[in-house]
């Protein structure tokens, strides 16, 4: 394994190394002294010497924490479990001793960052936005899908600019700061996304220390020690703590959201991390909605005498949440109550029917995902956010596949053949995203009406 002196020799000596990496020879002398080369120069060193990243990571001493070694202008870093360090400029809240750690995913949506950030399904994740201009329409009090932000942080390409939108009441930086969420800008999000695409979603830590000092070795160790989302039940963390009622309907210009004051049906929605627009869509479709916690049993759900039961979206591994959710769902299915599931609710229905779920290599996150309805042959452009999927090969004989992803062929929907139950993996409520699939809420209502 080459040491620093050998690497500098490979670069053609101190002068050549300085020229190649754009630093002074004094800086190169400092490399020799500290026994390490700052990670911001690794790409140039790798290109010039033919060494691999592993050579640089294992052959050198840990990254120094001297503030003078932080790249000029950098105030924040995204440190991955494999030691890669993406430097950038921090915004939102400063991080404390325990920097936010999570699975680094990417979202391809071009709009709706505020709805994305407040989607509870992003619990445990650091979101990389592939669209470069995030924050340019500010923040408003209406485009939120939950009261708090479940995501651990965000990574963006361009610096957040002043908002330019008639609905904005705050800039994104202040909005995040007030909610204790950290962002980093100036990162090559294409490079990060390619890493995720090719190598799977890594664990990472976001650091934006107020004092500007980075303990990179500790941050990498924190990322490496994070257990990952597989096997993690996060629904309990983001679910409501007690039952409540919902009557707000979907937002429409120019009046905004409305109220459902003449509901025709009563739906119990099990909250595994429900987005508010799902509840708005149910209310707009004519339902009185009672929201119950994720841990509600079948008896508690049926105790509300619902006309239909809805299983919400949510974060984490469905197999872990299924430990308490599956018995409740089986109880509802046995009672013959019409049932509709979205996202995690879809996966949990699959588990309740006896199918298995698995973790996708890179997940589907964005507002531009094509899905084919196998019954009609129509393609809908959908909003999606999921890292796990139902293995349709394990579906029992009393369930059929209704929708598939046109990106990777994975399962996007199922329906029971002997019970009034169906579900989709994607998000028909959009928010953010296209409203191609809003009709599914009306399909659910028609299913309820066919049974009453």
Q: Does 43 bind other proteins (CB under 8 A)?
A: yes
Write down the catalytic residue from 63, 343, 364, 380. 343
343 included as an active-site residue: yes
Provide the minimum distance between the beta carbon of 252 and other proteins in the complex, in angstroms, as a whole number: 38
245 included as an active-site residue: no
Q: Which stretch binds other proteins (CB under 8 A): 35-43, 110-118, 148-156, 380-388?
A: 35-43
Cβ 197 vs Cβ 114: under 8 Å = no
Q: How far apart are CA 378 and CA 440, in angstroms?
A: 14
The Cβ of residue 152 has, within 10 Å, a number of other Cβ atoms equal to 22
Which CB sits closer to other proteins, 16 or 44? 44
Which CB sits closer to other proteins, 40 or 280? 40
Instruction: Report the number of secondary-structure helices (H) and strands (E) in the chain.
Output: 15, 17
Q: Which stretch binds other proteins (CB under 8 A): 50-58, 136-144, 275-283, 415-423?
A: 50-58
Provide the minimum distance between the beta carbon of 190 and other proteins in the complex, in angstroms, as a whole number: 5
Provide the minimum distance between the beta carbon of 348 and other proteins in the complex, in angstroms, as a whole number: 36
Cβ 313 vs Cβ 121: under 8 Å = yes
User: For 23-131, where are the alpha helices, taking DSSP H only?
Assistant: 25-34, 42-49, 53-59, 113-118
Q: How far apart are CA 398 and CA 326, in angstroms?
A: 17
Query: Binders of other proteins among 182-201, rule CB under 8 A?
Result: 188, 190-191, 194-195
Which CB sits closer to other proteins, 61 or 191? 191
Of 6, 22, 47, 142, the residue at the interface with other proteins (CB under 8 A) is: 47
Write down the catalytic residue from 63, 103, 412, 429. 429
Provide the minimum distance between the beta carbon of 85 and other proteins in the complex, in angstroms, as a whole number: 7
Cβ 233 vs Cβ 316: under 8 Å = yes
Per DSSP, the three-state class of 76 is strand
Cβ 234 vs Cβ 271: under 8 Å = no
User: For 272-430, where are the alpha helices, taking DSSP H only?
Assistant: 276-284, 298-302, 318-334, 344-353
Provide the minimum distance between the beta carbon of 83 and other proteins in the complex, in angstroms, as a whole number: 11
The Cβ of residue 322 has, within 10 Å, a number of other Cβ atoms equal to 20
Beta-carbon contacts of 52 under 8 Å, excluding residues fewer than 6 positions away, are: 46
403 included as an active-site residue: no
Q: Does 416 bind other proteins (CB under 8 A)?
A: no
Q: How far apart are CA 26 and CA 218, in angstroms?
A: 28
The Cβ of residue 111 has, within 10 Å, a number of other Cβ atoms equal to 14
Q: Does 398 bind other proteins (CB under 8 A)?
A: no
Write down the catalytic residue from 346, 364, 386, 427. 427
Which CB sits closer to other proteins, 44 or 320? 44
User: For 68-225, where are the alpha helices, taking DSSP H only?
Assistant: 113-118, 172-178, 189-199, 216-225
What are the structure tokens assigned to 59, written together? 């052959």
Provide the minimum distance between the beta carbon of 69 and other proteins in the complex, in angstroms, as a whole number: 16
Task: Name the strand (E) or helix (H) holding 408.
Answer: none
Query: Binders of other proteins among 282-341, rule CB under 8 A?
Result: none
Beta-carbon contacts of 258 under 8 Å, excluding residues fewer than 6 positions away, are: 248, 249, 250, 252, 284
How many positions of this chain bind other proteins (CB under 8 A)? Answer: 17
What are the structure tokens assigned to 61, written together? 């001493």
Query: x/- site string to other proteins, residues 53 to 92, per CB under 8 A?
Result: x--x---------------------------xxx------
Of 42, 113, 388, 441, the residue at the interface with other proteins (CB under 8 A) is: 42
Q: Which stretch binds other proteins (CB under 8 A): 45-53, 114-122, 174-182, 362-370?
A: 45-53
Q: Are strands 182-185 and 287-293 parallel, antiparallel or unpaired?
A: unpaired
Q: Which stretch binds other proteins (CB under 8 A): 16-24, 42-50, 139-147, 174-182?
A: 42-50
Q: How far apart are CA 148 and CA 144, in angstroms?
A: 9
Residue whose token pair is 């779920």: 357
Query: x/- site string to other proteins, residues 139 to 178, per CB under 8 A?
Result: ----------------------------------------
Q: Which stretch binds other proteins (CB under 8 A): 39-47, 93-101, 255-263, 444-452?
A: 39-47
Query: Which residues here bind other proteins, judged by CB under 8 A?
Result: 39-40, 42-43, 46-47, 52-53, 56, 84-86, 188, 190-191, 194-195
* Residues labelled catalytic: 343, 427, 429
């Amino acid at each position: 394994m080459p040491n620093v002196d050998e690497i500098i020799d490979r670069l053609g000596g101190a002068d050549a190394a300085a020229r190649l990496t754009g630093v002074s020879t004094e800086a190169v002398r400092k490399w020799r002294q500290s026994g390490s080369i700052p990670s911001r120069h690794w790409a140039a060193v790798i290109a010039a010497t033919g060494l691999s990243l592993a050579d640089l990571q294992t052959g050198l001493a840990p990254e120094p924490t001297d503030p003078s070694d932080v790249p000029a202008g950098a105030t924040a870093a995204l440190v991955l479990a494999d030691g890669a360090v993406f430097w950038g400029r921090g915004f939102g809240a400063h991080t404390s001793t325990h920097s936010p750690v999570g699975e680094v995913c990417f979202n391809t949506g071009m709009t709706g960052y505020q709805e994305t950030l407040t989607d509870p399904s992003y619990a445990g994740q650091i979101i990389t936005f592939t669209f470069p201009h995030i924050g340019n329409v500010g923040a408003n009090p209406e485009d939120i899908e939950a009261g708090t932000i479940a995501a651990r942080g965000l990574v963006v390409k361009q610096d957040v600019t002043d908002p330019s939108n008639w609905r904005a009441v705050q800039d994104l930086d202040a909005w995040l700061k007030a909610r204790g969420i950290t962002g980093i800008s100036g990162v090559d999000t294409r490079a990060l996304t390619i890493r995720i695409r090719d190598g799977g979603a890594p664990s990472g830590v976001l650091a934006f220390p107020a004092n500007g000092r980075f303990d990179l070795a500790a941050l990498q160790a924190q990322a490496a020690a994070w257990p990952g989302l597989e096997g993690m039940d996060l629904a309990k963390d983001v679910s409501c703590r007690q039952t409540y009622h919902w009557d707000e309907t979907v937002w429409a210009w120019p009046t905004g959201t409305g109220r459902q004051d003449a509901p025709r049906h009563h739906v119990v929605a099990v909250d595994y991390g429900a987005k508010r627009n799902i509840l708005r869509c149910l209310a707009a479709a004519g339902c009185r909605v009672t929201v119950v916690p994720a841990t509600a049993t079948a008896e508690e759900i049926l105790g509300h005498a619902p006309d239909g039961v809805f299983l919400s979206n949510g974060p984490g591994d469905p197999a872990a949440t299924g430990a308490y959710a599956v018995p409740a769902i089986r109880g509802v299915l046995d009672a013959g109550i019409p049932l509709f599931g979205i996202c995690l609710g879809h996966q949990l229905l699959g588990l309740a029917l006896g199918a298995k779920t698995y973790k996708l290599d890179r997940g589907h996150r964005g507002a531009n995902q094509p899905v084919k309805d196998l019954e009609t042959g129509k393609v809908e452009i959908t909003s999606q956010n999921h890292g796990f999927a139902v293995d349709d090969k394990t579906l029992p004989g009393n369930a059929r596949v209704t929708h598939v992803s046109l990106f990777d062929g994975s399962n996007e929907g199922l329906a029971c053949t002997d019970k009034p139950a169906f579900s989709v993996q994607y998000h028909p409520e959009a928010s953010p995203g296209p409203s191609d699939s809003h009709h599914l809420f009306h399909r659910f209502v028609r299913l309820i009406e066919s049974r009453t």
